[in-house]
Amino acid sequence: MTGREIRDVLEQSGVTPSRQLGQNFLIDPNCARWIVSQLDVQPDDAVVEVGPGTGALSEHLVGNVRRLILVEFDARLAAMLKERFANEPSVEVHHEDGAKFDIRQLFKYRRIKFLGNLPYSSGGAILKNFLTRPHPFERAVIMLQKEVIDRLAAVPRTKDYGVLTLRVQSGWHVQPLRTVPPEAFFPRPQIDSSVAVMTPRRDLPPFDDRLFDELIRRGFSQRRKQMKKHMPEHPSWESVAATLGISPTARAEELPLDQWIAIARTYDPHPLMDVPQKDGEIFDVVDENDQVTGQATRGEVHANGLWHRAVHVFVINRKGELLLQQRSLLKDAHPGVWDSSVSGHLDAGEDYAVAAIRELEEEMGITDAEPVEFARVAACPATGREHVRLYRARYDGPVRFPCAEIEAAQWFSPAEISAWVKARPEDFASGFLECWKAAGQGS
């Protein structure tokens, strides 16, 4: 769309650009085409575009991707987009606030990418909502004011380096691509914009996101002061610094991301922080009727395909949503996929009900919920030759999980899970799929 065409669309839609909403519409068609090209879309991709406005970027995606999901806050523009793309079955338009959009509905559309010429007024909140883990995206191309992109991509010992930098870079590689001048927009902003491409990180050891966030906020509370005064008392900052080879007089702005991750891991008290599984654990070996025939180590059971026992627990909140966990990439079975709220093997001589209670505490830090058995799944290849008893537990509090064992946790409605399972069964552990069927949810 040319600048003249975009102005005509705005006039026909009764839209006067709002400074309060941060509305600056891209009117350079060559720039729009180039921005979309950086998304590297494939025909089987889905794309979420936040803040599509008049559709200057969207028009280069329609017909070239499997699904295009547009999220527009301005009701008049959302109505115009719905009318414009009414005959395009691959396009859906949501009149919603991008900072509050429920991204849980997007997991079923993977493979999925994110695109946004984001409003200056709410770009940060939109990024936080869409791109904070857990999220379904494998690539993002964003345009924001240049000063924000500079902060996202900043390096230590620079004025732009801070909490926002570390929050974003702990989950994404950020690569600034191009500065876009004010004359590419209507109305013209008073500052430059920048485009950046973001790709999810896969190169960091496991760490507790919430603890990491707490520590960087402490460290940068007085960025030019020595951080030792702001760190937790135990263990002492002096011992942490000595362990990691960091100067005890270091300032927050001097430390790169990998050292901040190491600091978070050192302060993490969870006993399973570095232990996704122990091959030396002893399990009961059973027969096809779940009768004990002997014992073997975890490693032996899995290596030899022996029948053994496990529990799965479905944790459900007051809204009827089910808590799912994303398995750690370090797991020896089904790494990185989604699974029951908690699941685990029975130790030798352990009862199923006792194991369910233990797993709730070990995996999610839940100690005040009572699991109730409601289904059983016979041992089969899909369960890894595990006889499974399935429990249900009601819980509405916070969860805390070992980062070496669990990548993320999120609540989903049963309807959303069913749609996701139908669209992408490969996103789930096979044992969970059997439990989902046993719960009367799967086909």
**Predicted confidence (pLDDT) per residue in 290-309, tens digit:** 999 999 999 999 999 999 99
For residues 350 and 354, give the distance between their C-alpha atoms in angstroms, rounded to a whole number: 7
Cα separation of the two ends of the chain: 46
**CA-angle at 364, arms to 359 and 370, nearest 5°:** 60
For residues 273 and 258, give the distance between their C-alpha atoms in angstroms, rounded to a whole number: 17
Average pLDDT, the chain: 94
For residues 406 and 418, give the distance between their C-alpha atoms in angstroms, rounded to a whole number: 22
Q: Would you state the structure tokens that stand for residue 437, as one six-digit string?
A: 């069927």
> For the domain bounded by 209-267, which CATH number is listed?
1.10.8.100
Beta bridge partners of 409: 325
| Domain 3-200 -> CATH class | alpha beta
For residues 315 and 426, give the distance between their C-alpha atoms in angstroms, rounded to a whole number: 22
Q: Name 351's Cβ contacts closer than 8 Å, sequence gap at least 6.
A: none
Q: Of all residues in the chain, what percent carry a pLDDT higher than 70? A: 98
364-416 pLDDT tens trace: 999 999 999 999 999 999 999 999 999 999 999 999 998 888 999 999 999 99
Task: Name the segment(s) of the chain with CATH classification 3.40.50.150.
Answer: 3-200
Inform me whether the pLDDT recorded for 1 exceeds 80.
no
For residues 280 and 160, give the distance between their C-alpha atoms in angstroms, rounded to a whole number: 48
CB count within 10 Å of CB 87 equals: 7
In this structure, the chain runs to a length of 443
pLDDT score recorded for residue 276: 61
Q: What sign does the CA torsion over 279, 285, 289, 292 have?
A: negative
Residue tagged 């080879």 (tokens): 245
Inform me whether the pLDDT recorded for 24 exceeds 90.
no
363 closest CA partner among 269, 272, 267, 265: 272
pLDDT score recorded for residue 13: 85
168 closest CA partner among 202, 143, 132: 132
187-212 pLDDT tens trace: 899 999 999 999 999 999 999 999 99
| Architecture of the 282-438 domain | Alpha-Beta Complex (3.90)
- Yes or no: say if 166 and 127 are a contact pair by the CB < 8 Å rule: no
* pTM as predicted: 0.93
Which stretch of 254-268, 286-300, 320-334 has the lowest confidence by average pLDDT? 320-334
Inform me whether the pLDDT recorded for 443 exceeds 60.
no
pLDDT score recorded for residue 381: 94
Report, as an integer, the average pLDDT of 276-288.
85
pLDDT score recorded for residue 199: 98
**237-244 and 257-267 are packed helices; what angle lies between their axes, rounded to 10 degrees?**
130
For residues 37 and 59, give the distance between their C-alpha atoms in angstroms, rounded to a whole number: 12
**CA-angle at 368, arms to 318 and 234, nearest 5°:** 115
**257-267 and 209-219 are packed helices; what angle lies between their axes, rounded to 10 degrees?**
110
Task: Name the segment(s) of the chain with CATH classification 3.90.79.10.
Answer: 282-438
The one-letter amino acid code at 117 reads: N
Buried b (16+ CB within 10 A) or exposed e, 182-193: eebbbeebeeeb
230-249 pLDDT tens trace: 999 999 999 999 999 999 99
**CA-angle at 402, arms to 216 and 114, nearest 5°:** 65
pLDDT score recorded for residue 28: 94
DSSP 234: S
Task: Name the segment(s) of the chain with CATH classification 1.10.8.100.
Answer: 209-267
Instruction: Give me the phi and psi of 154, to 5 degrees please.
Output: -65, 160
For residues 65 and 91, give the distance between their C-alpha atoms in angstroms, rounded to a whole number: 10
The pairing of strands 112-117 and 137-145 is parallel
Cα 153 to its chain centre, rounded Å, is 20
pLDDT score recorded for residue 106: 98
pLDDT score recorded for residue 178: 97
Phi-psi region for residue 327, left (φ > 0), alpha (ψ -120 to 50) or beta?
beta
Three-class secondary structure of residue 327 per DSSP: strand
